[in-house]
Amino acid sequence: MSAPDGPLVIGVDSSTQSTKVLVVDAATGAVVARGQAPHVVTAERGSDPAQWWRALSDALAQCGPAAGRAAAVAVAGQQHGLVTLDAAGRPVRDALLWNDTRSAPQRDRLLAELGGPAAWAERIGSVPVASFTVTKWAWLRENEPASAAATRAVRLPHDYLTGRLTGQETHGGTTDRGDASGTGWWSTATGDYDHGVLAHVGLDPALLPRVVAPGEPAGTVRPGLPLPEGIPVAAGTGDNMAGALGLGLVPGRPVLSLGTSGTVYAVSGRRPADPSGVVAGFADARDGFLPLACTLNCTLAVDRFAALLGLDREAAEPGGDAVVLPFLDGERTPDLPHATGLVHGLRHATTGGQVLQAAYDGAVFALLRALDLVLDEDADPDGPIVLIGGGARGTAWRETVRRLSGRPVLVPRARELVALGAAAQAAGLLLGRDPAAVARDWGTADGPAYGPVARDEAALARIAATLTDADALLRRP
């Protein structure tokens, strides 16, 4: 491999299932080394934060000597997870992850007690769902009071790993505005923690990390790690915010991420406050906003249907009138935490491939329904949708998005966009540049484009009618 043109930076993506590390040439965006190590998630959708640190260490080791030449590092992590630490910085219990919906009753009470959805949207920027950190803390205090009482620091997943890098696990810990905006206790209106919400859920603000400004370092690498001591550690951010950085997004360009969860988001200069709760009004990792809609059921749910049918995931067939609402883990958009999967409209002539296609349709429908709310009014309604995530590599996913949206689709060649976004953040800190501009210089969004096709209005109407008719059934605990 030829010598890099610029200094090396490291981007980390600590997701639900694994930690990925990229060592990147800050001048060109070329990946010079990579590593990955898995996580274990419990049946209760918990995860031991200490294993994230072990996975990060293992992934760094896989990068070899390149990691030891890095000049800056940044960590992006799964949003919303509740990490509780004791006075020594050790986890009090397994982290409660974003896809743990046990806190749905606490969420309902918080909405009612603090003014309802519209008040939350205006105050915080988002209407909290059972994924949000504030609901998980309320659940912990109610169901595990001893764990809550033992907690001396509350962190998000990326905060925890950043603290381990800098040696500031509990004292002097940091976060960023993007990830903080997904907690439910940080306000996009004020740019600060909401002390009224914190008091209501019994969380001492002294337990929370400092929110560093965009472009401000979180600290420097502590001694004893397989990284150069003293190099700057960027603030880091949530995975969706890092993905936006990794694409170098400009306002108005929608992104549809097809992974364990499905998300639609776009960068905006306008502060979102959707009282319906469909769109989460997150901040981005810079000085703007990242309106986002998220579904819990995406690639895993459709793959489950393929397995039940004994089919390959690409074996979807057109035709038929079947409708599948693949809400196998409850659902976030639409807000149906108690829902289960539903199959409707089967006939003797219905094939397994048609049922599989209906599962794709149901998953994509939920995301496209939120697209108009995510985008600003002045966004191009016919502009391309950027497809990312594991599903973006699948023909069935891509063609379903084209058919149900009627819009062109762009699939970036770059795959590890969250880690690349973290690397761009590290490079931006090192070079004194806007990280999104750095990513655009790297060409991370380059890839094949697919033109629009006629929108399948009949399928859209069929799914919408089924969802409306089944609403009461889907909401039943």
Which residues are catalytic, by number? 239
Three-class DSSP category at 409: strand
The β-bridge relationship of strands 385-388 and 255-258 is parallel
- Alpha carbon of 269 to those of 209, 402, 430: distances in Å? 26, 27, 25
**What distance in Å separates the CA atoms of residue 191 and residue 203, rounded to the nearest whole number?**
18
Nearest to 296 by CA among 102, 80, 101, 41: 101
Question: Cα-Cα-Cα-Cα dihedral of 402, 406, 408, 413, to 10°?
Answer: -20
429 and 421 Cβ atoms separated by less than 8 Å = no
Residue 304, amino acid:
R
Nearest to 302 by CA among 378, 366, 241, 233: 366
Phi, psi (5° rounding) for residue 449? -115, 145
**What distance in Å separates the CA atoms of residue 169 and residue 167, rounded to the nearest whole number?**
6
- Angle (nearest 5°) at CA 421 between 281 and 9: 145
As beta bridge partners, residue 232 has 220
211 and 187 Cβ atoms separated by less than 8 Å = no
Residue with tokens 């810990």: 173
**What distance in Å separates the CA atoms of residue 79 and residue 36, rounded to the nearest whole number?**
19
**What distance in Å separates the CA atoms of residue 193 and residue 195, rounded to the nearest whole number?**
6
Question: Cα-Cα-Cα-Cα dihedral of 184, 93, 75, 280, to 10°?
Answer: -20
Indicate left, alpha or beta for 89 from its phi (over 0: left) and psi (-120 to 50: alpha). left
Residue with tokens 């009004």: 281
**What distance in Å separates the CA atoms of residue 133 and residue 154, rounded to the nearest whole number?**
10
Residues in the chain: 477
Q: Tell me the longest C-alpha to C-alpha distance in the chain.
A: 67
DSSP state of 287: S
